[in-house]
Copies of this chain bind each other. A is one copy, B any other.
Amino acid sequence: MRPQINAERLLKRLRDLGEIGALPGGGVCRLALSEEDRAGRDQLVRWMEELGLAVSIDAIGNIWGIRPGTGDGPPVMIGSHIDTVATGGLYDGALGVMAGLEVVAALNDAGARTAHPLAVAAFTNEEGARFAPDMMGSGVHQGALDLSRMLAVQGIDGATLGEELARIGYAGDIPPKSLTPAAFLELHIEQGPVLERDGVRIGAVTGVQGISWTEFTISGQSNHAGTTPMDLRRDAGLAAARIAVEARAIASDFGPPQVATVGSVNFEPGLVNVVPERAVITVDLRNTDDERLKEAEARLHAAAHSFAEEEGCEITARSLARFAPVAFDETVVARIEGAAMARQLTVRRMPSGAGHDAQMFAPNCPTAMIFVPSKDGLSHNIAEHTEPAELIAGAEILLDVALDLLGEAQ
Contact = CB atoms under 8 A, between A and B. Distances in A.
Interface of A: 190-194, 197, 209, 211, 213, 215, 223-230, 232, 235, 237-238, 240-242, 244-245, 248, 251-252, 256, 259-265, 267, 269-276, 282, 284, 286, 320, 352-355, 377, 379-380
A241 to B, nearest CB: 4
B265 A273 contact: no
B245 A263 contact: no
Nearest to A257: B229
Contacts of A192: 224, 226-229
A265 B263 contact: no
Copies of this chain, tallied across the complex: 2
A194 B233 CA distance: 12
Contact of A263 (B194, B227, B273): B273
B251 A230 contact: yes
A262 B284 contact: no
Given A232-B377, A263-B237, A191 B224 contact: yes
Main SS at interface, chain A:
mixed
Given A238-B262, A263-B276, 14 more contacts: A192-B226, A193-B228, A215-B272, A224-B380, A225-B286, A226-B284, A226-B286, A227-B353, A228-B377, A229-B256, A230-B248, A241-B241, A263-B267, A265-B265
A320 B272 contact: yes
A241 B209 CA distance: 26
Contact of A225 (B223, B259, B271): B259
A265 B262 contact: no
Contacts of A284: 225-226, 272-273
Contacts of A241: 240-242, 244-245, 262, 265
Contacts of A215: 272
Contacts of A282: 272
Contacts of A235: 248, 261
Nearest to A284: B225
A190, A194, A197, A261 — which one has the most chain B CB atoms within 10 A of its CB? A261
Contacts of A377: 223-224, 227-228, 232
Contacts of A260: 230
Given A224-B353, A377-B228, A263 B274 contact: yes
B259 A190 contact: no
Contacts of A267: 262-265
A395 to B, nearest CB: 21
A267 B267 CA distance: 11
Contacts of A353: 224-228
A232 B263 contact: no
A264 to B, nearest CB: 5
Contacts of A261: 225, 235, 272-275
Contacts of A194: 227, 229, 232
A66 to B, nearest CB: 32
A265 B274 CA distance: 12
Question: Which of A241, A248, A380 lies at the interface centre, i.e. has the most chain B CB atoms within 10 A of its CB?
Answer: A241
A263 B256 contact: no
26 contacts: A192-B224, A193-B227, A193-B228, A194-B227, A197-B232, A213-B273, A215-B272, A225-B261, A225-B284, A226-B284, A226-B355, A227-B352, A227-B379, A230-B260, A237-B244, A238-B262, A241-B244, A241-B262, A241-B265, A262-B276, A263-B270, A263-B276, A264-B270, A264-B271, A265-B267, A272-B284
